[in-house]
Structure 1
Amino acid sequence: MDTSGSLSITHLIFNASPLVQIVMLFLLGLSIASWTIIFSKSNSYKAARAKADEFEDKFWSGIDLNNLYQECIKKGQDLIGLEVIYSSGFKEFVRLINSGPADQEVVMDGTYRQMKVSQSREMENLESHLATLATIGSISPYIGLFGTVWGIMHAFIALAAVKNATLSMVAPPIAEALIATAMGLFAAIPAVMFYNRFVSKVEALENRYINFMDEFATILNRRLVRVRSEMNMKNNDVPQTNTQQPSSSYSQKSYNHPLGEEQHSPYSRARANTHSSPYQTPGVEGDRYRNTSRSPLQGQ
């Protein structure tokens, strides 16, 4: 109580019972941890959305997928979100193609599985510490209520020994106890509010990643069908006089991916006869996919 007779919050805190002070200190720590997570995750989700926008703009611009993969490799450990999913899927696709004349369904299934693993790891990073934020929002009010109940209980026990209790004697200990409840609410309300907001952001990014995986797998499957059909057509045009010669269609990685290996394989010959790279993203078509794949929540 200051010179004017009014109660000061700092005076009430420093004169509270030891257990109530411990509760207040613990709630202060929870509040600091909560706001640290809030600022950290806000920056993470903002960066993830920006990187996703940048990568999708580049992906749907018509760039050759091999060149895009090389750009991702140069970044090393700085890959985020869609870049990680694309790099892992493209790398597995190349490995399966170069391993031999594997069935098309096997190639696409293996590619999608690898992208799914990378997507799950990215989601784990996005969802990290959200459980802590939810826990803080759930337990903080109860911890503050415990401090309040304990403080009021001791206040009434002390007043029981006084014959003539006045309001000035009752008010300070009760006010000390109520501060614990206020601190519990102060820690819980932002934690719950931002937890719900972050969950919606994570769901929007997850849907965005899944949509990209489906679109990327569709592009690879469509181009693989086209290239193999062109290879079959060229093989059917081979003169009968060459049938006695040993074929090198499968001995020299006949399904070689454009990563700079055998340039005289049937794959590369079929690729050379196309007007564009068989693994090049569609520019105009990409604008339509890109505009429809982004959900309204991503701009939040």
Structure 2
Amino acid sequence: MEYLKFAIDYGVMGLLFAMSIISCGLFVERIVFYKALNVTSYKTKKSLEIALSNHLTTIATITSNAPYIGLLGTVLAIMLTFTNMSEQSIETSKIMSSLALALKTTAVGLVVAILSMVFNNILVRYSERFLAVFDEEI
């Protein structure tokens, strides 16, 4: 069962960590793009909208899937707990460490989702403002 603990620790937690890095990186890239954006350089509203919404889908996908990945880690850790309980004499320390691992994956999944949701909301608001400015310019 050590492979399951390894998979949870490095697989699920690693995936959540990678998702948070991707989300943060895309957020910074979009902010830098928005700061340098000149609305008047776009000929149509559709071309501006495409440029503004680039990478927002990826951030939204991370937002919606991070809790599920955290939940997957929780389910796997609970399975590990039950397996430890059935195979060995009940050692409180092993049970508690498995349950702590379950709660850790849930918490990290929620943190990644909340952070990505904040990033997405900020970027969508920037996009809406730039589109409004474009409408007024024309």
How far off its partner does 1:186 sit? Answer: 2.4
Counterpart CA distance in 1 for 2:51 and 2:125 is 15
**Paired position in structure 2 for 1:83:** 41
Q: Higher helix share goes to which structure?
A: 2
CA offset digits 1:126-169 (Å, max 9, x no partner): 10000111110110011011111111112111211234x24223
Equivalence map 1:71-150=2 (5 Å): 80-85=38-43, 118-150=44-76
**Paired position in structure 1 for 2:98:** 173
Counterpart selection for 2:13 from 21, 24, 36: 24
CA offset digits 1:169-204 (Å, max 9, x no partner): 311111122222222122111110121121111111
Q: Structure 1 counterpart of 2:80, which letter?
A: H
CA offset digits 1:247-268 (Å, max 9, x no partner): xxxxxxxxxxxxxxxxxxxxxx
Relative to 1, partners in 2 of residues 1:181 and 1:153: Cα closer, same or farther, differing over 3 Å? same
Q: Structure 1 counterpart of 2:52, which letter?
A: L
CA offset digits 1:199-219 (Å, max 9, x no partner): 111111101101211xxxxxx
Q: Which has the higher contact order (CA 8 A, sep 6+)?
A: 2
TM-score (norm 1): 0.43
1:209 correspondence with 2:111:
no
Counterpart CA distance in 1 for 2:19 and 2:113 is 9
C-alpha contact (below 8 Å) 2:67/2:109 kept by paired residues: yes
Equivalence map 1:119-268=2 (5 Å): 119-163=45-89, 165-213=90-138
**Paired position in structure 1 for 2:28:** 39
C-alpha contact (below 8 Å) 1:141/1:185 kept by paired residues: yes
Give the SS at the match of 1:17: helix
Please list every run of 5 or more consecutive structure 2 residues that lacks an aligned counterpart in the other structure.
Answer: none
Q: Structure 2 counterpart of 1:208, which letter?
A: V
Counterpart CA distance in 2 for 1:127 and 1:153 is 40
Counterpart CA distance in 1 for 2:45 and 2:134 is 7
C-alpha contact (below 8 Å) 2:39/2:133 kept by paired residues: no
CA offset digits 1:216-244 (Å, max 9, x no partner): xxxxxxxxxxxxxxxxxxxxxxxxxxxxx
Counterpart CA distance in 1 for 2:27 and 2:107 is 20
Larger radius of gyration: 1
Counterpart CA distance in 2 for 1:44 and 1:169 is 49
TM-score (norm 2): 0.88
Counterpart CA distance in 2 for 1:149 and 1:123 is 40
C-alpha contact (below 8 Å) 2:74/2:105 kept by paired residues: yes
Counterpart CA distance in 2 for 1:84 and 1:142 is 39
Q: Structure 1 counterpart of 2:125, which letter?
A: S
Identity of aligned residues (%): 31
Counterpart CA distance in 1 for 2:19 and 2:97 is 25
Cα-Cα RMSD: 1.9
- Equivalenced residue count is 136
Q: Structure 2 counterpart of 1:173, which letter?
A: S
